[in-house]
Each structure stands twice: as C-alpha cells, then as structure tokens.
Amino acid sequence: MSSISEQIFGTETGHDPGGPLAALIAFYRGFNARDLDSLAGTWLDGADPSMSNPIGGLRRGWPSIREGYARLFQGPARVTVAFHDFTMQGDDRACLFVGREKGRCAWPGGEIALRIRTTRWFVHRNGTWRQLHHHGSIEEPALLAAYQRSILGTEQASAS
C-alpha cells in the first residue's frame, strides 16, 4: 500500500498514462468538466460496475450510473471535487484507492464546502484501467442534508 500526498483534481500530468493513477485522474477530469463521454471512458461498461453515494444512491451497471451522473450534471448545482489524503493498493489486475474528496457544491442560491469519504476500485480489462466500483459517504448529518437538498431538492435516506 502506498500513501499519495498529492491532490487529484483531474489536471495532473506526468503519471504513467497506462497506469491506474492516470485512470483515476481521467475520472476526476471528466467529473469536474461534467463530461459524460469522458466518464464513460473511465468506467467499466455493462452490468458489472456499481456505485453507492448520498446523491445517486445504489446503482448497478454503467447505464444506471451514467443516468445518475447525467441527472447531476443537468441540474442547477455545480459540483467540483478533488481527491486527497488517499492510499493506493493493488497489482497489475486491480487497484483500490481509499481517501477523501473535498470540494464545493454551488447553485444559484448558495454554496457549501464538501467533505466526502471515498473509495474507488479500478480493474485492468482489455488493456485499460476502468472503474468497477465507487462508494462515497458524508459523515456530517447537517452537511449531508444540505448537499442532498442542493442537488435533489430534498433530503433522502442514504445508502451510504
């Protein structure tokens, strides 16, 4: 296991372009740009991927995950995050990133600072690294409620 001291926002360069860290960077580049086509290139296609977080809930399969991102990106709130304080462990077939996201959620009526525990699991398939699973949790009840209201218009029971 290696601890990574840098922050990943999606603009980082100089990493092995065929490695799992480059795939993680590509995910954040696509997410922060609200680019669904870029995100599709970072997730494993088909029914295998899964995601669980306070906004998207539990989603299985790339089509459902894509729909969740589309809903977020088409809404009035703008979410940007950076991955930090994380570890990376794996081998040539799978890589697990465990850390935190920090960022902001801004909408016409306000803005909140985000603090999210995050796990992202990438697998190496057909010569490329793709995300197989994501889990995100917000530990602070008031922050979770504010984030859900800003995106969904209401608080929801969280799967996270």
Boundaries of every domain in the chain? 2-152
- pLDDT per residue over 42-52, tens digit each? 999 999 999 99
Mean pLDDT across the chain, nearest whole number?
92
What per-residue confidence (pLDDT) applies to 109? 86
- pLDDT per residue over 83-139, tens digit each? 999 999 999 999 999 999 999 999 998 999 999 999 999 999 999 999 999 999 999
Q: Is the pLDDT of residue 15 over 90?
A: no
What per-residue confidence (pLDDT) applies to 13? 86
- What is the CATH code of the structural domain delimited by 2-152? 3.10.450.50
pTM of the model: 0.92
CA pair distance 10, 113, nearest whole angstrom? 19
